Amino acid sequence: MNTSIEKQVIAKGAARFSIGSLFFIAGLCFASWASRIPDIKAHLNLSDGALGAVLLALPVGLMVSLPFSGWLVHHFGSRKMVLLSAVLYPLVLSCIGLVQETWQLVVVLFCYGLMGNLYNIAVNTQAVSLEVLYGRSIMASFHGIWSLAGFTGAAIGTLMINLRLLPFTHFCIITGTALTFVCLVYRNTLRQDINADTDRPLFAKPDATLLKLGLIAMCCMVCEGAMFDWSGVYFQKVVLAPKGLIPLGYTAFMSTMAGGRFAGDRLVTRLGTLRMLQCSGLVIASGLVIAITFPTLVTATLGFMLVGIGVSSVVPLVYGVAGKSTVFSPGVALAAVSTIGYLGFLAGPPMIGFIAQAASLRVSLAFIAVLGFMTTVISSKTKF
């Protein structure tokens, strides 16, 4: 192999490992926080309603940061912003373990959402730039690493709880691990983003293509939010699963979503972006229809597995396409699509609750199935 080509291959491999590690850190930190929510709830003596209100601080911080996250990534570059956010995100996690009052938790969660989104935009911009260098789809595997980190974080959280370690001690261990990895992998991150030197608008409304990509992300993220928040309720109330098997739907969904992301890049290479998105929407809708029509333990689990496969590659694909926008810089384009997408993630679970209250949980999931199918419809009308 030519020496210069060999060096390029090694450099791309090192960058891929580094960016993948940063995705892992993000997923590990988020899952670590989620695993200790019950302990923090008990520590602050919060009711279910109060906890729900307090938890809104995190998505509010995320949404507030969306407009300027894109500007920061464009102005300073994703490399500097990924370093800043990858350091502050774990540090804010440790601060969550120090809260003694409800208002303190609100403030810290707001900051956690703020830093989490800056991290998200910066690391995805790095991933988009590396994908361009590779000349093929690699974005889905990065999101698969995030999902794998979620499983790891949940398992570590269970271990920490069984060891009776306080959340602060747990979070400090995670923070120390995360910061160590950041120090080790940062030097191999990409030094320049694609289209970094072009004169493109920083603050403008999305064009037609970005708007459609945002709507595709929104439809998918409504489905994701539904699975995160309502799968257990569905298995408890509709499937009537035994108590020990109530989490089965969520586990099935998360497992196939993670697996689908690792397989997604190869499928995109073979099928193309358009066909992949069209198939994903059909699989989401089919899975939900199976779970709704045949609400038994086996069939509902199978249905939720299909939903996981369906949603696995949608957001990574949308991010990859948005980051290559010819109108906006990668950071701004990703921020625009994320803004629209996260509206679905935030609005989806409450919307399901309202529909379930007015009709039934099966009807609300039928509505989600329609949104899943809309992924196929909107994709068919989008130029890739």
- pLDDT digit string (tens) for 147-173? 899 888 888 988 998 899 999 999 999
- DSSP label at 327? S
User: How confident is the model at residue 372, as a pLDDT?
Assistant: 93
Quick one: how far is CA 12 from the chain centroid? Answer: 24
Confidence of residue 24 (pLDDT cuts 50, 70, 90): very high
Max CA distance (Å), the chain: 67
Q: What is the CATH number of domain 3-188?
A: 1.20.1250.20
pLDDT above 70 as % of the chain: 94
Confidence of residue 5 (pLDDT cuts 50, 70, 90): very low
Q: Which long-range contacts (CB under 8 A, 24 or more apart) does 233-241 make?
A: 233/361, 234/291, 234/295, 234/300, 234/361, 234/365, 235/297, 235/300, 237/361, 238/295, 238/300, 238/361, 238/362, 239/295, 239/296, 239/297, 239/300, 241/297
User: How confident is the model at residue 108, as a pLDDT?
Assistant: 97
Q: Which two tokens stand for residue 10?
A: 């090694």
The least confident of 9-18, 297-306, 344-353 is 344-353
- DSSP label at 163? T
User: How confident is the model at residue 342, as a pLDDT?
Assistant: 80
User: How confident is the model at residue 243, as a pLDDT?
Assistant: 82
User: How confident is the model at residue 187, as a pLDDT?
Assistant: 93
- Residue-wise DSSP of 6-72: HHHHHHHHHHHHHHHHHHHHHHHHHHHHHHTHHHHHHHHT--HHHHHHHHTHHHHHHHHHHHHHHHH
How would you label 217-253 residue by residue, b for 16+ Cβ within 10 Å and e otherwise?
Answer: bbbbbbbbbbbbebbbebbbbbbebeeeebebbbbbb
Of 20 and 13, the structure prediction assigns the larger pLDDT to: 20
Confidence of residue 360 (pLDDT cuts 50, 70, 90): confident
pTM of the model: 0.84
Spatial contact of 332 and 214, defined as CB atoms under 8 Å apart? no
Q: Is the pLDDT score of 274 beyond 90?
A: yes
Q: Is the pLDDT score of 194 beyond 90?
A: no
Residue in the block written with tokens 């900051």: 111
Spatial contact of 68 and 117, defined as CB atoms under 8 Å apart? no
Say which CATH topology domain 208-380 has.
Growth Hormone; Chain: A; (1.20.1250)
User: How confident is the model at residue 198, as a pLDDT?
Assistant: 54
- The residue type of 3 is T
Sketch the domain layout of the chain as residue ranges.
3-188, 208-380
304: closest CA among 232, 371, 359? 232
CA distance 358 to 354: 6
Residue in the block written with tokens 């586990």: 251
Whole-number average pLDDT of the chain: 88
The least confident of 50-64, 94-108, 193-207 is 193-207
pLDDT in tens, 315-339: 999 998 988 887 888 888 888 898 8
- Would you report the helix, strand and coil content of the chain in percent, each value rounded to 5? 85, 0, 15
Average pLDDT over residues 133-159: 89
273: closest CA among 383, 123, 371? 383
The least confident of 21-30, 63-72, 122-131 is 63-72
